[in-house]
Amino acid sequence: MKNMKMKIVMPKLWSKWIILVLLISVLVSLWNRSSITESDDDYSSLSPPPPQPPPADASTSFEFLTTRLLQRDSVGQGSNRDHLQYDFYRNTCPDAEEMVRKSMMRIHSQHPEVSAALLRLLFHDCFIEGCDASIFLDDSRGNQSHQIEKDAVPNRTLKGFEKIDMIKEEIESHCPGVVSCADILALATREGIVLAGGPFYPLFTGRRDSAESYFAEAMAEIPRPDDNIRQILRLFHHRGFTERDTVSLLGAHSIGSIGCEFIEGRLHSFLNTGMPDLTMATDFLTEMREKCNNGTNSTNGGGVSSMSMKSHSVIRRSSGFTGEEDQLASISSIGGFSSHYYKGLLRGRGLLHSDQQLMADERTARFVRAYVNDDGTTFRRDFARAMMKMSSLGVLTGSEGHIRENCSSLASSFSSS
């Protein structure tokens, strides 16, 4: 009878432990150190689909390991990221993350470009005073005359606001005044990355929304397309990112599209010199001039694609490119979420000057070469970990900030924690 009882109980125990082991392995793999060079991190892979929430008795272990990972990355930054929690809305809006996931699947099926749009939107929000949804505000502290982040030159071409508003409206109908716009943007961006073929990465929640918008800071601190490597590293280092983090995050340019206005100077008179950007490969310069002069691939008078909008749910890491795909990748970075972006840099085919600048300094160039020589796994690992850091920059938690009912307005904001 004792043996029979064991046979009945064991499957349940095993299934419970399997879930726990899988979750812990994701986080431990991020924690482990091996090398591109002996002193550099080599992060373990995170791949979709996202893991299921752990059983109740596994929660403590999951939170402990993820908290330690984030703590290691936030030393000296003085952030509130340690106050974020795993499954923060488990009691107040338990279906929040699932609603975000399903909404993103619907949106992406009709608008696959949303992945790149939200990734850029998150970056521009988090890079300026933290991930607080200040980028959405139509006024600052109720002052309609105050200049807002949306009006800053680097932010005028941002897209995806209405997609976050759609998700927010759905969540508000189920859990009014509970889930912040900052959390929705972080979660939706993660789901968009996965849908575009990128890596899954765990996220804590509990962010709150800012009451202030930061126009001046956005004008001064958002990286520019024509920045040199010193300027790029200064801006990223100031926010706690290493050279390796910086190179992996710029790999986000492997998806999306860019208007010709962003590279026009490179093609004809870079920095008003009357000469094109000499860091561009000659044949690439010719190709880009033809694309922009022909006004193709854009609804705004000309543009070039950073990737095809076709997503790939499975990345074939070992198959490489076909001859045709390799040619396309060198022209317009077509190839999906992968290390093809870095292959273009080795050949002088970065679309933005700031992209190509990663090859101008050995501190960053060595990582470009490492990603090219890898099967794509290392880039995906590094990008996942860097996105965890990016999504936790300067967050407001606890009694700080608000929970906005409408992401663009402070009216009807909820201040209770």
The C-alpha atoms of residue 187 and residue 392 are separated, in whole angstroms, by 12
Confirm whether 124 is a catalytic residue. yes
Confidence (pLDDT) at 146:
76
In CATH, the number for domain 222-389 is: 1.10.420.10
253 is in an annotated binding site: yes
Catalytic residue, candidates 108, 111, 124, 146 = 124
Q: Is the pLDDT of residue 160 over 60?
A: yes
Range in 116-130, 234-248, 295-309, 390-404 with the lowest mean pLDDT: 295-309
Alpha-carbon span 358 to 83, nearest angstrom: 34
> Has residue 408 got a pLDDT over 50?
yes
Band (54; pLDDT cuts 50, 70, 90): very low
Q: Is the peptide bond before 49 cis (omega within 30 degrees of 0)?
A: yes
CA dihedral 346, 349, 351, 357 (to 10 degrees): 40
d(CA 333, CA 277): 19
The helix, strand and coil proportions of the chain, stated in percent and rounded to the nearest 5, come to 55, 5, 45
The number of angstroms, rounded, from the C-alpha of 116 to the middle of its chain's C-alpha atoms is 9
Tell me the pLDDT tens digit for each residue of 77-88.
445 666 899 999
What phi-psi label fits residue 376: left (phi over 0), alpha (psi between -120 and 50 degrees) or beta? left
The answer to whether the CB of 208 falls within 8 A of the CB of 181 is no
- Check whether 130 is labelled as a binding-site residue: yes
Annotated ligand binding at 287? The verdict is: no
Is 243 assigned to a binding site? no
pTM for the full model? Answer: 0.76
Closest CA to 317 of 297, 293, 336: 336
How far apart, in whole angstroms, are the C-alpha atoms of residue 126 and residue 267?
A: 31
Give bridge partners of residue 143 from the DSSP assignment: 140
d(CA 179, CA 79): 20
Asked if residue 251 belongs to a known ligand binding site, the reply is no
Residue extents of the structural domains in the chain: 222-389
The yes-or-no verdict on residue 330 having pLDDT over 50 is no
